[in-house]
Amino acid sequence: MGLLRVHKGLAGQGLRAAPMAHTLSEAFPSHPADASTVGFVLSRLPRGMAPILWVQDRLSRKEAGRPALAAMRADRPVIMVDLSRAADVLWAMEDGLRCRSLGAVIGEIWGDPPSLDFTATKRLALRAEAADVSCWLIRRAASPDLSAARERWRIASLSSAPHPHDPQAPGAPRWSLDLFRARHTKPGQWVATYDRAADRVHLATPARDRAVDARDGTARGRATG
């Protein structure tokens, strides 16, 4: 997937197409190597040709590989930085947020290193808001401990949508989104589908299990008896 765009009709579904101001967000893949997280993060980045700073620690690079960016515009610069320690990733991200000419800063950190505490995330959030630069932390194999991130997402791949012409072929890719913490919008859950023709991500509220409550029959029996 390339630089996807979230459908503009999302405001009515409880999720804004873009935050009011750029800040720090976190994304937690359901599986450490799940590539759907990268696709969703790309869909939330601002348009334009400003460079993207992408920083990975050693374990993220080893276990998940480099992000698949082949479908992005070839003339939009992506600055890849490979570092060993999570502390160095955080330092590079914070330093990058001092540069207002960047379009976004993205960091990938494996697990729950001691350096990634509330203070570190608070510094990133304040830097991003001061520079008005979008900042994302992809947290692989991590637990959602205390954080100052303004949005926190859990993301998982789903089975593809049915193919409109061939039931044996895969259809549009889909994944589940769980916005479990947010400061400027209401948390919620969605099923995301990528529309390749429109280069957009469409969201739908997931279907709920409508199992009949056992008490319904009892109450009905009393009413008719």
> How confident is the model over 57-103, as pLDDT tens digits?
999 999 999 887 765 677 789 999 999 999 999 999 999 999 989 99
> Rounded to two decimals, what is the model's pTM?
0.80
221 or 22, higher pLDDT: 22
207 or 170, higher pLDDT: 170
Residue indicated by tokens 């637990």: 143
Looking at residue 148, its pLDDT comes to 96
Percent of the chain with pLDDT over 90: 51
Looking at residue 20, its pLDDT comes to 53
Query: Residue 33: which pLDDT band, with cuts at 50, 70 and 90?
Result: confident
Looking at residue 174, its pLDDT comes to 86
Say whether pLDDT at 17 is over 80. no
Query: Residue 208: which pLDDT band, with cuts at 50, 70 and 90?
Result: low
Enter the tokens of residue 75.
């003339």
Mean pLDDT for the stretch of residues 114-142: 96
Minimum mean pLDDT range among 33-47, 117-131, 206-220: 206-220
3-class SS of residue 85? coil
- Domain ranges across the chain: 5-224
Q: In what order do the strands lie in the sheet with 24-29?
A: 5-6, 200-204, 188-195, 174-182, 151-158, 24-29, 134-140, 104-110, 52-56, 78-82
Mean pLDDT for the stretch of residues 45-50: 88
**Nearest one of 108, 110, 107, 176 to 141, comparing CA atoms:** 110
Rounded Cα distance, 63 and 177, in Å:
22
The CATH classification number of 5-224 equals 3.40.50.300
Looking at residue 185, its pLDDT comes to 87
Do 123 and 153 meet the contact criterion of CB atoms below 8 Å apart? Answer: no
